[in-house]
Structure 1
Amino acid sequence: MSIPSTPIHLMTTIYRRIFPYTNKELAYWQNRAEQIPNQELRQQALDSIEAKTFHCEGGSIYSLLSQQNWQEAIRFIVAYQTISDYLDNLCDRSTSLDPDDFRCLHQSMLDALNPGADLKEYYAYREEKDDGNYLHDLVQTCQATLSKIGQYEIIKPYTQELAALYCDLQVHKHVTFEERVPRLRTWFDEHAEKWNDLSWYEFSACSGSTLGIFCLVSYAFSDHLTEELTRNVYNSYFPYMQGLHILLDYYIDQQEDLDEGDLNFCSYYEHENHMKDRFVYFIDQTKLHINDLPHASFHHMVQKGLVGMYLADRKVQSIQGANYMVKDLLKESGLKAKFFYLNTKLYHKLKPGLA
Structure 2
Amino acid sequence: MAVPSTPIHLMSTVYRKIFPYTNKVLSTWEASAEQIPNAELRKQALDSIEDKTFHCEGGAIYSLLSQNYWKEAVQFIVAYQTISDYLDNLCDRSTSLDPNDFQCLHQAMQDALTPEAQLKDYYAFREEKDDGGYLASLVQTCQHTLRSLPNYNQLKPYTKELCALYSDLQVHKHVTLEEREPRLKEWFTLYSNRWNDLSWYEFSACTGSTLGIYCLVSYGFGQTLTDEQIQNIYEGYFPYMQGLHILLDYFIDQEEDLVEGDLNFCNYYDHEDHMKQRFRYFIEQTQAHVQSLPHASFHQMVQKGLVGLYLADRKVESIKGANEVVKELLNVSGMKAKFFYMNTKLYHKIKPGLA
Following superposition of structure 1 onto structure 2, how do residues 1-355 of structure 1 map, counting pairs within 5 Å?
1-352=1-352
1:238-265 Cα deviation digits (max 9, x unpaired): 0000000000001111111111111110
TM-score of the aligned structures, taking structure 2 as reference length: 0.99
Is the partner of 1:64 in helix, strand or coil? helix
Distance 1:225 1:128 in 2: 42
Distance 2:223 2:88 in 1: 34
* Residue identity matched to 2:304: K
Is the contact made by 2:38 and 2:129 (CA closer than 8 Å) also made in structure 1?
Answer: yes
Is the partner of 2:239 in helix, strand or coil? helix
Is the partner of 1:221 in helix, strand or coil? helix
Is the contact made by 2:30 and 2:49 (CA closer than 8 Å) also made in structure 1?
Answer: yes
Is the partner of 2:92 in helix, strand or coil? helix
Distance 1:326 1:245 in 2: 15
Distance 2:330 2:178 in 1: 36
The aligned length equals 354
Sequence identity, in percent? 74
Q: 1:353 to 1:182 in 2, by over 3 A?
A: closer
Distance 1:28 1:241 in 2: 30
Distance 1:315 1:31 in 2: 29
Superposed displacement of residue 224, structure 1: 4.1
* Residue identity matched to 1:341: Y
Q: 1:97 to 1:353 in 2, by over 3 A?
A: closer
Distance 1:353 1:60 in 2: 19
Superposed displacement of residue 116, structure 1: 1.8
Distance 1:299 1:55 in 2: 18
* Residue identity matched to 1:259: V
Superposed displacement of residue 325, structure 1: 0.6
Is the contact made by 2:65 and 2:222 (CA closer than 8 Å) also made in structure 1?
Answer: yes
TM-score of the aligned structures, taking structure 1 as reference length: 0.99
Distance 1:225 1:32 in 2: 35
Distance 1:108 1:294 in 2: 31
Distance 1:209 1:85 in 2: 11
Superposed displacement of residue 225, structure 1: 1.9
Is the partner of 1:4 in helix, strand or coil? coil
* Residue identity matched to 1:202: E
Distance 1:272 1:75 in 2: 40
* Residue identity matched to 1:284: E
Distance 2:312 2:41 in 1: 31
* Residue identity matched to 1:121: D
Distance 1:196 1:286 in 2: 16
- The list of structure 1 runs, each at least 4 consecutive aligned residues, that deviate by more than 6 angstroms after superposition, is none
What value does the CA root-mean-square deviation take over the aligned residues?
1.0
Distance 2:71 2:224 in 1: 17
Is the partner of 1:195 in helix, strand or coil? coil
* Residue identity matched to 1:340: F
Q: 1:121 to 1:305 in 2, by over 3 A?
A: same
1:209-258 Cα deviation digits (max 9, x unpaired): 00000000000001242211110000110000000000000111111111
Superposed displacement of residue 353, structure 1: 9.0
* Residue identity matched to 1:150: P
Gaps of 5+ in 1: none
Superposed displacement of residue 178, structure 1: 0.6
Is the contact made by 2:7 and 2:336 (CA closer than 8 Å) also made in structure 1?
Answer: yes
1:299-322 Cα deviation digits (max 9, x unpaired): 000000000000011111000111
Superposed displacement of residue 95, structure 1: 2.4
